[in-house]
Chains A and B, each alone.
Chain A
């Protein structure tokens, strides 16, 4: 397997609630990226963390925030959940840049907002 694990695997929340998704990256990979994948779409880049600092952000509102910890784990927090936030959330760990920067994905957290 990839060495990247996410929790929980499935989650149901109510509109307006807050959620925290967790990711344990592959050891030694100091870059973690989070993606949102709606049904039938490709993964959309949310943000990237490098050495515990946000290092790039996609077109997502501020209610999407994150943290990265020294032990290669990270979190995605979403406040004020909306129905459209229902999606598969993927984290991927990688080395920064380089000619062979493969992203290793976790199995994802499927979030349903009702």
Chain B
């Protein structure tokens, strides 16, 4: 099983719709979880951290399910500017652990 797995997509979604992505991770000792956004030919940028209790930032909601070892990202009222690749990121605990990226899910918002 890969350390971090995502559906590569692409997800083609009409503007204004709601879209959700899941990401599974294999290391049950993982401690920190993030969603990054990457635009074409740019570096990844932090979209939001994922907390155990779930968290929301405007139109974006992130959830963590430790029992099933997955995190999710929900985007409501999608905008054209949301078109990007969304990378799931998992980090361990302590200096010996490393940040692992999923391969990303491509999202295309259609006008």
On whether the beta carbons of A45 and B101 are closer than 8 Å, the reply is yes
On whether the beta carbons of B44 and A102 are closer than 8 Å, the reply is no
On whether the beta carbons of B45 and A31 are closer than 8 Å, the reply is no
Residues of A within 8 A of B43 (CB): 90, 105-108
Closest residue of chain B to A43, judged by CB?
Answer: B101
Residues of B within 8 A of A33 (CB): 98-99
Instruction: Give the bracket for the number of chain B residues in contact with chain A.
Output: 20 to 34
Bound-state Cα–Cα, A90 to B32, Å: 20
On whether the beta carbons of B95 and A50 are closer than 8 Å, the reply is yes
On whether the beta carbons of A55 and B96 are closer than 8 Å, the reply is yes
4 shortest interchain CB distances as A-B pairs: A96-B95, A42-B103, A105-B43, A97-B94
Beyond A98-B32, A98-B93: 12 further Cβ-contacts under 8 Å? A2-B45, A43-B101, A45-B101, A50-B95, A55-B98, A58-B98, A92-B99, A96-B95, A97-B91, A97-B93, A100-B49, A105-B43
